[in-house]
Structures are given as C-alpha cells and as structure tokens.
Amino acid sequence: MANVGGIAGDRLRSFIERIERLEDERRALGEDIREVYSEAKGAGFDVKTMRQIVRIRKLDEHERDEQEALLETYMAALGMAGDGARKRAAG
C-alpha cells in the first residue's frame, strides 16, 4: 500500500487490525466474566457485593483507606454512622 499524505498505509492497517483483534478479545473476556458472575449467583453468592470486592481489591492500601474514610465521613454527615454495626450486633 502506498504512502498517502505522509501516512504509511501498511503500518496503519497493521495498527487497525491489532486494535480490532484486541476489541474482539475484550468482548470475549467480558462474556467470560459475565458467565463467572452468573455461575457465582447460581451458587448463592451476591454478585453486587462480589463486584464491589473486585473493585476494592484493585485499589492500593492508601486509596482503599481514603475511600473508607470518605464513606464514613459522608455517612456520619447523613446520620448513618454506625448503623451497619448496630444492625449486625442486634441481628
């Protein structure tokens, strides 16, 4: 393929094809992940909670601590501080 306007057509095609292959792989991985969550749900696990845990595990310790502190601060501002602990103790 010829160079057009300073763009090497073969090189551009190579990049585009690689991106397309990766997009296909990402789509397939997304389907695999949905299947695993579906299997976990069928086994009685709460998928929403599992998704939160996966998201939290991606954070480093400092980011996790910061998010937990903000969550506690916001809950306290809404008068919700300690509700979960009280409910667990009562239950």
**Model pTM?**
0.65
Contacts of 24 (CB under 8 A, 6+ apart): none
Of the pLDDT bands very low, low, confident and very high (cuts 50, 70, 90), residue 28 is very high
- pLDDT above 90 as % of the chain: 77
Average pLDDT of the segment spanning 19-35: 98
Phi-psi region at 4: left, alpha or beta (left = phi > 0; alpha = psi -120 to 50) = beta
The domains of the chain are located at: 1-58, 60-91
Q: Who has greater pLDDT, 88 or 34?
A: 34
Of the pLDDT bands very low, low, confident and very high (cuts 50, 70, 90), residue 2 is low
- Cβ neighbours around 80 below 10 Å, total: 12
Average pLDDT of the segment spanning 37-47: 98
Alpha carbon distance 62, 52 (integer Å): 17
